Structure 1
Amino acid sequence: MNDLQIRIADWSRDNGDLRRIREAVFVAEQAVPPELEWDAEDAEAVHFLALDGDYAIGTARLLRDGHIGRVAVLRDWRGLKVGEALMQAVIAEAERMGLDRQYLTAQVHATRFYERLGFEVVSDEFLEAGIPHVDMVRQG
């Protein structure tokens, strides 16, 4: 992969790519029920797309209160620092918006990834959509 780009997505225009990635990762791979994956906050969120050339391979969203979520990278591009580049773009946009505190709900297996980006675990482990999670916070 030699042409990684991260850009802010348009929920309407980029909806097909955003849905394709989230459905592949969360609904198909992790068996998250579709009714839990899609919510009213999508229309108001700032969405991000990671692209390899012009093919969308990852996504994330940022809510107006600093909540980061729906971070997903397609299987074939994992381990190539796509998630890190995506998260750095989300954090930079949050800080540009004046959101010095960002938070997220992380799958337990991904906590080290988020810790490397400055997030700290602030909760006990709990189940969400049948998957172990923890709450994490980053103070900018």
Structure 2
Amino acid sequence: MSSIHVRVADWQKENAELRRIRESVFIAEQAVPPELEWDSDDASAVHFLALEGDYPIGTARLLSNGHIGRVSVLRDWRGLKVGDALMRAVLTEAERLGLQEQMLSAQVHATPFYERLGFEIVSGEYLEAGIPHVDMVRRSH
């Protein structure tokens, strides 16, 4: 496996790559309705791309209020710490921007992953796009 790296992406220029990953993970795999996947926040969010070499394999976004979302890694690259690299890049950027608190809506099965990164569950379970989720928060030290 070649090196995996994460960088900030340009929503305008790299829209096709960002959309391809999210469509594959959320719409095709998890049956999230397209109208729930795409929203007006994409235009103002900081987007991240995880790449193996120059091939995009994962993405995430950070909103100006510290909300992290749309964390997704293509199926063939899961279990290879791509999500870790992606989240570490997002958290580093959030702290650089002075966002002392980061929040996300996590699919319940993914909560141990986020807990390892310092997030705590702060809500009961609820359904989002038919998938069980919980709210999680991380405070920078």
TM-score by length of 1: 0.99
Aligned residue for 1:49, secondary structure, equals strand
How far did 1:115 drift?
Answer: 0.1
Give the CA deviation at 1:83.
0.2
- 1:111 alignment counterpart: 111
- Alignment pair present for 1:139 and 2:139: yes
Secondary structure class of the residue paired with 2:86? helix
The structural deviation recorded for 1:5 is 1.1
Cα distance in 1 between the residues matched to 2:5 and 2:131: 30
User: Match for residue 74 of structure 1?
Assistant: 74
Tell me the CA shift for residue 3 of structure 1.
Answer: 1.5
Where structure 1 has 5 or more consecutive residues not aligned to the other structure, the ranges are: none
Any gaps of 5 or more consecutive residues in structure 2? none
1:13 maps to 13
TM-score by length of 2: 0.99
Q: Report the AA paired with residue 99 of structure 2.
A: L
- Over residues 43-91 of structure 1, what are the superposed CA-to-partner deviations in whole Å (9 max), with x where a residue is unaligned? 0000000000000000000000000000000000000000000000000
Structure 2 letter corresponding to 1:105: S
Distance 1:67 1:2 in 2: 31
Counterpart-to-counterpart distance in 2, 1:51 and 1:16: 14
Count, aligned residues: 140
Structure 2 match to 1:122: 122
- Partner Cα distance (2:36, 2:100) in 1: 28
Match of 1:41 in 2: 41
Amino acid at match of 2:38: W
Q: C-alpha separation between the residues in 1 aligned to 2:101 and 2:108?
A: 21
| Structure 1 outlier segments of 4+, above 6 Å | none
Q: Would you say 1:54 and 2:54 are equivalent positions?
A: yes
